[in-house]
Amino acid sequence: MSNSIFVKFIIPFLLCFGLMVFFAFLIDYLLHLGNIYWVGKHLGIPGTLLIMGSFVYSAKKRKLIKSGNAKTYLAYHEYMAWAGSVLILVHAGVHYNAHLGWLATYMMMINVFSGLVGKFIIRNARESMNERRLALAAKGLSDESIENELFYDSITYGVIKQWRVIHLPIAMVFFILSILHIITIIIFS
């Protein structure tokens, strides 16, 4: 594996994922330090609201929102879903009593994981393909030769683009499990 792949993709990816877990522990630690650990249980609500708010991107993508550009809304999605997930992790705590909440949490973790894969790996793959296209064009290659040269790159890109197959259905399962968890909390408390 080349150094640039490691520096450009793997390190930021691991940092973002690791920081989510780190911040969850830090907030939990600070709450215990201040003897207000009970606040953690209530972070389920702001966490859920942040993740729901992150779906403004979906509204933008479907042209329900006219102002701003899609790239900014995607950044909202990424940061808000990430921050919401930190709060949900604090909310979940380290005990295990109820399956539903934990299943929803596992789905959320897979979603954040796959979201980060999308952000760092796919986006960069697209960028490096565009860079290669420009470099080949600068060498004076015809459009047809460029397409030939990029054929295998584009297949790889097409394959990894399939990551949506993970991100989207898992998001749906996450959504359903979260609703069921919240309904059981409302019914049994």
State phi, psi for 185 to the nearest 5 degrees: -65, -45
Q: Using CB under 6 A, which residues numbered 68 to 87 contact ligand HEM?
A: 74, 77-78, 81-82, 85
Q: Which two tokens stand for residue 22?
A: 């780190």
User: What are the residues whose beta carbons fall under 8 Å from the beta carbon of 49, sequence distance 6 or more?
Assistant: 84
Given 24, 51, 90, 136, the residue binding ligand HEM (CB under 6 A): 51
Eight-state DSSP code of residue 64: S
The answer to the question of residue 48 lying near ligand HEM (CB under 6 A) is: yes
Q: Is position 2 an interface residue for ligand HEM (rule: CB under 6 A)?
A: no
Restricted to residues 97-136, the positions that interact with ligand HEM (CB under 6 A) are: 97-98, 101-102, 104-105, 108, 111-112, 115-116, 118-119
Compute the Cα dihedral for 59, 63, 67, 71 and give only its sign: positive
Shortest reach from residue 179's CB to ligand HEM, in Å? 9
**Distance between CA 160 and CA 150 in Å, rounded?**
15
Structure tokens at 85: 């997930």
Judge contact between 130 and 83, C-beta under 8 A.
Answer: no
In the complex, the residues that contact ligand HEM under the rule CB under 6 A are 41, 44-45, 48, 51, 57-58, 61, 74, 77-78, 81-82, 85, 88, 91-92, 95-98, 101-102, 104-105, 108, 111-112, 115-116, 118-119, 167-168, 171, 174, 178, 181-182, 185
